[in-house]
Amino acid sequence: MQPFPILLNVEICHAVDRKTRVCSIMQEDPPTSFGKWRSLFWPIHRWELKKFLPMFFMFFLISFNYNALRACKDSLVVTAPQSGAEAIPFIKVWAILPGAFLLTFLFTRLANRFSLEKVFYIMMCLFLGFFMLFTFALFPLQEHVHPTLLADKLQAILPEGLKGLVAMFRNWTFTLFYVMSELWGTAILSVLFWGFANEVTRVGEAKRYYGLLMIGANLAGILSGQASVFLSGNTFFSFLPYGKCSWDQSILFLNILIIVSGVMTIGIFRWLNHNVIRNSAQYKPKEKIKMSMRKNFAYLAKSKYLLLISLIVLTYNIAINLIEVVWKNQIKELYPNPSDYNMYMGEVMTLMGVIATMTAVLTAFAIRRFSWTFNAMIPAIMMLITGVGFFLLVLFPHSGLIWIAAAFGASPLMLSVTLGGLQNCIGRATKYTIFDATKEIAFIPLNAESKLKGKAAIDGVGSRIGKSGGAVIHQTLLLFFSTVAACTPFVAGIFIIAILIWIVSAVSLGKRFDQLTSPNLGTV
């Protein structure tokens, strides 16, 4: 297997002093090699630390919030009164998808008016302001603002298959929290952070930086998972204005951690921009690219390269959301109490972080050693293998695998939940490491307009369409079969089809990436 091809544009590197070097073209690394072990674990030059470390800690804090919100939002919605995993597909279609379009529209309007640095501050303040509102107003007042009586009337007249839609309405504050938590990953993590990282990072730097950034994100996942477990299992203070039980207090303290982490992220981002990026010899103020949602998607439609990236993102999100609803439905059966549910999700986040950290170390090596296509195929293959295993156990709980449950003294339900958790850990771990790294590297060779417009369309809305696509599939099946369990055989078949489309798209995109980064530069 051949390593990543090197771009034709060779760096013209100048020695500013013995400790600092800058490069005039943001494409490839200075010709400085590392030793065997350092190239694997710490391929960072000393003069790069002032840029790399702030990026590392920014990504760490943003990822901490992302993982903490993932566990918390699921626990809130799935264990809410008269709710369950059935509510998730409805939230993703009728709340998150419109929210994603609205947020993308807001982002494009802000980007047309302000610098990307100011856009970052505005978007961060929007999210942190909501989490403050939820923590200190909406959650304590939930019994007064939730339309319980009206929801009961709707439930009595609507079909059983629309139970999730009614639950979404009944617990609307939890639904809003779920939406903002999901959009944090889209707006802050994918669009803003990675957009910024791709703008200030060369291809050669990305091959060395991104694997380490993923390790930091996975360590943040471990920390957030353990924080969720610790806070959900303890009641700390009896004098608080609200939060007399461990679950309520865990919501309070987790959200305070999220807000503090967000404020720290803003501070680091400001320092990095004002003390490193603007002082760099490679920094040049860029012409503002006018954007609109319609033009962004029109631009996306004209580029086969960007369409393939969007197809990979789309099929991944469809696949992971198809399988997660089935898995979370089983978790609700096993852990109906919200504190127990959140503790379990915290343990899953921790294990995911451990697996992803080990994967990230291998990713950092694989990205430098093997081709883009080889690396891009790894998450798809892992998702296919673990997903098929999970569905087989769910569909045939009393099959030949039952002896495994008996050996550990576990029920078939416990075994399927455990295997589903392992599948989710592996699927998410490879997504946060090698999937994200290869996807972001695929953007780097493009021109500034393609990066900005394509990324806004793909990460801003495309990923949400993928998740909503999986939700629409679940909704349609629920209308016919009423329960998640009855829908599972059909979900399994669609899951496999989505993975196969993902694999074909990755192979096709890999060929175009090789052409674009070969000495005889092609066109996208």
Per-residue HEC secondary structure of 232-269 comes to HCCCCCCCCCCCCCHHHHHHHHHHHHHHHHHHHHHHHH
Q: Where are the domains of the chain?
A: 49-281+290-516
Cα–Cα distance, 457 to 470 (Å, whole number)? 19
Per-residue HEC secondary structure of 43-67 comes to CCCHHHHHHHHHHHHHHHHHHHHHH
DSSP 3-state assignment of 244?
coil
Report the chain's C-alpha Rg in angstroms.
23
Q: What are the residues facing 13 on neighbouring strands?
A: 23
Direct distance between the N- and C-terminal alpha carbons of the chain, in angstroms, rounded to an integer: 24
Helices 338-369 and 246-272, packing angle to 10 deg: 30
- CB atoms under 10 Å from CB of 498, counted, come to 27
Cα–Cα distance, 428 to 193 (Å, whole number)? 19
DSSP 3-state assignment of 13?
strand
Q: What pLDDT, on the 0 to 100 scale, is given for residue 4?
A: 38
Cα–Cα distance, 138 to 173 (Å, whole number)? 6
Residues in Cβ contact with 38 at an 8 Å cutoff, skipping those fewer than 6 apart: none
Q: What pLDDT, on the 0 to 100 scale, is given for residue 18?
A: 33
Structure tokens at 480: 């016919």
CA-nearest of 463, 461, 493, 501 to 477 is: 493
CA-nearest of 87, 70, 82, 183 to 471 is: 87
Q: What pLDDT, on the 0 to 100 scale, is given for residue 337?
A: 85
Cα–Cα distance, 346 to 299 (Å, whole number)? 40
Q: Which residue has the tokens 């695929």?
A: 442
According to DSSP, residue 23 is labeled E
Cα–Cα distance, 475 to 321 (Å, whole number)? 12
Cα–Cα distance, 489 to 491 (Å, whole number)? 5
Angle at 463 between CA 87 and CA 211, to 5 degrees: 120
Q: What are the residues facing 15 on neighbouring strands?
A: 21
Angle at 344 between CA 341 and CA 346, to 5 degrees: 110
Residues in Cβ contact with 371 at an 8 Å cutoff, skipping those fewer than 6 apart: 1, 2, 3, 4, 510, 514
Q: What pLDDT, on the 0 to 100 scale, is given for residue 57?
A: 96
For residue 276, the number of C-alpha atoms closer than 13 Å in the C-beta half-sphere is: 18
Rounded to an integer, what is the distance from CA 473 to the centroid of its chain?
21
Structure tokens at 317: 């999100």
Decide: residue 139, CB within 10 A, 0-12 exposed, 13-18 middle, 19+ buried.
buried
Q: What pLDDT, on the 0 to 100 scale, is given for residue 481?
A: 83
Whether the Cβ atoms of residue 283 and residue 24 lie closer than 8 Å to each other = no
List the pLDDT tens digit at each of the 524 positions of the chain.
433 333 323 332 333 333 333 333 334 444 456 776 776 678 888 888 999 999 999 999 999 999 899 889 988 998 898 888 888 888 988 998 888 888 878 888 888 888 888 999 999 999 999 999 999 999 999 989 999 999 999 999 988 888 889 999 999 999 999 999 989 988 898 888 988 887 888 767 877 887 788 788 888 888 988 888 888 776 666 666 666 677 888 888 999 999 999 999 999 999 999 998 876 655 555 555 555 666 667 767 778 888 899 899 999 989 998 898 889 888 888 888 888 888 888 888 888 888 877 877 777 778 878 889 999 999 999 999 999 988 888 887 665 556 566 666 667 778 888 888 888 888 888 887 889 888 888 887 887 777 777 777 787 666 767 777 888 888 888 888 878 888 889 999 999 999 999 999 999 999 998 888 775 544 44
Cα–Cα distance, 338 to 76 (Å, whole number)? 7
Cα–Cα distance, 333 to 347 (Å, whole number)? 17
Considering the entire predicted model, what is its pTM? 0.74
- CB atoms under 10 Å from CB of 302, counted, come to 10
| Residue type for position 319 | A
| Residue type for position 333 | E
Q: What pLDDT, on the 0 to 100 scale, is given for residue 17?
A: 36
> What does 24-42 look like in DSSP terms, one character per residue?
SSTTS--S----HHHHHH-
Angle at 121 between CA 118 and CA 127, to 5 degrees: 140
Cα–Cα distance, 346 to 335 (Å, whole number)? 13
Q: Which helix (H) or strand (E) holds 14?
A: strand 13-15
Whether the Cβ atoms of residue 181 and residue 72 lie closer than 8 Å to each other = yes
Q: What top-level class would CATH report for the domain 49-281+290-516?
A: mainly alpha
Whether the Cβ atoms of residue 250 and residue 228 lie closer than 8 Å to each other = yes
According to DSSP, residue 22 is labeled E
